[in-house]
Structure 1
Amino acid sequence: MVTHSQTFGFKPLQHGDHLDPAGEKFLVEKGIPVTTPAKDKAYLEKYGMTVANGLEAWTPTPYLGGEITAVPAQHGHGWIHKVMANGCGFFLQLPNEPSIYISGDTVLTDDVKRALTELKPDITVVAAGQAQMDVGQPLLMPTDEVMEFIQLSPGKVIANHMEALNHCPVDRETLSNSIQQLGLEQKVLIPADGETLEF
């Protein structure tokens, strides 16, 4: 699953933190089918990837014996999201597994709130690093939006997208402190690099 990859179809602007050259090579060489937003399908196919699903927003699609639904994502507040690769999140329902909503790179929007309150995922994943460029507003949820996302989530929350990029000012310790201040520490998991979580 690739939540987003291209900006204006221009390879140097590909979001390398979501699809880097090594990952791209691996997917092509192994012929691994990819699921992505419909707008990215032709772009990925141009570089040799097999795209099994180009998803349209809010349209449940058969996936691995269950269903996958794309939830629109807005990659930033203000004008900056228009030059970013607005992608999607994924809501997955697979047989005999907890449902999961991976929000992708997004700020807190009505679509994200709808995914949390209507789809009621058992597990949610939120990009919590508050990424920001030198200009423009945050590209990801600022801390107050992350806290609202956590509070709206019906089940466990996994916080990721921290400390991997130099433009993510919110680190694990900072997020943990914010979560503790609101008494949400039992609801949120902040995995270390390489850590495996089982549910």
Structure 2
Amino acid sequence: MKVHHLRSATFIIESGEHFILIDPMLGKKGSMPPFSVFRFKAEKNPTVDLPANADQLLDKVTHCIITHSQTFGFKPLQHGDHLDPAGETFLRQRNIPVITPAKDKAYLEKYGMTVSHGVAPWQTVAIAGGKVTAVPSQHGHGWIHKVMANGAGFLIELEGEPSIFVSGDTVLTDEIRRALTELKPDYAVLAAGQAQMDVGQPLLMAKSEMMEFIGLAPGKVIANHMEALNHCPVDRRALRTLVAEQGVADKVLIPEDGETLSLS
């Protein structure tokens, strides 16, 4: 199995003839508005372009998993860092089958995407000769997670391959702990940017939660969701320093945009 990290939360899992795209934010640099205006620099998103190898990899995509997209069904509140207009166009034009949380199924279909499965919490469905299981997530602490409309993480188990748990946008909850300790993924993908809006608590795990997540993970952790969005203050350098100080640097992979990881 290979993981091709493109940008932020967007990556591709390669297994044989199957290429599974996760959370397609495919637009050009600056194609979306800032997600924070006061708390952080009001820079348009994404703040970086896709890597040079993105088009070649995207041409091979056979399936897609979207961890979350809609908020109250209101298009201007769509989570563009997990499905932006360019990502929508890509999925529509190529008729890529999508797996997504059950609550988002009708919304994506309304905008022309082909949803093969809307998955309920802890439900398992088939994909690419294997299976995926949805894990409930909580997109922030306090009241803001209700406004953000929670999505799901996904455990992906493909035949003959290591299992991989994609956390999605979440803080650390008992459900996430259960996914790590009971489902025992070989690899776990951690959204590590500690995103924050102009109001409310962080939407992703704080540093202490990330350290607990890494400690609970039975295998290695792949950190993403950094250095592409203006509301994510934790960057790769800060995370490398943190995991080194905590003595877990050998357990954490922090890919650069365009980097390919070979998992075994």
Structure number with higher relative contact order (C-alpha < 8 Å, ≥ 6 residues apart): 2
- Compute the displacement of 1:64 (Å): 1.5
In structure 2, give the amino acid aligned to 1:186. D
In the alignment, is residue 82 of structure 1 matched against residue 146 of structure 2? yes
- Compute the displacement of 1:65 (Å): 1.4
Q: If each structure's strand is expressed as a fraction of its own residues, which one has the higher value?
A: 2
In the alignment, is residue 71 of structure 1 matched against residue 135 of structure 2? yes
**1:142 corresponds to which of 203, 206, 211:** 206
Aligned-partner Cα distance in 1 for 2:145–2:98: 24
- Compute the displacement of 1:134 (Å): 1.4
In the alignment, is residue 99 of structure 1 matched against residue 155 of structure 2? no
Residue aligned with 1:92, SS? strand
- Compute the displacement of 1:85 (Å): 2.6
Aligned-partner Cα distance in 1 for 2:85–2:217: 34
In structure 1, give the amino acid aligned to 2:112. G
In structure 1, give the amino acid aligned to 2:163. S
- Equivalent residues, number: 199
In the alignment, is residue 25 of structure 1 matched against residue 92 of structure 2? no
Q: If each structure's helix is expressed as a fraction of its own residues, which one has the higher value?
A: 1
Q: Quote the residue 1:13 is aligned against.
A: 77
Aligned-partner Cα distance in 2 for 1:162–1:85: 21
Aligned-partner Cα distance in 1 for 2:156–2:71: 25
Runs of 4+ in 1 over 4 A off after TM superposition: none
TM-superposition CA deviations, 1:13-56 (whole Å, max 9, x none) = 11111001111001001111100000000000000000001001
- Which consecutive unaligned segments of at least 5 residues does structure 2 have? 1-64
Scaled by the length of structure 1, the TM-score of the pair is: 0.99
Scaled by the length of structure 2, the TM-score of the pair is: 0.75
In structure 1, give the amino acid aligned to 2:73. G
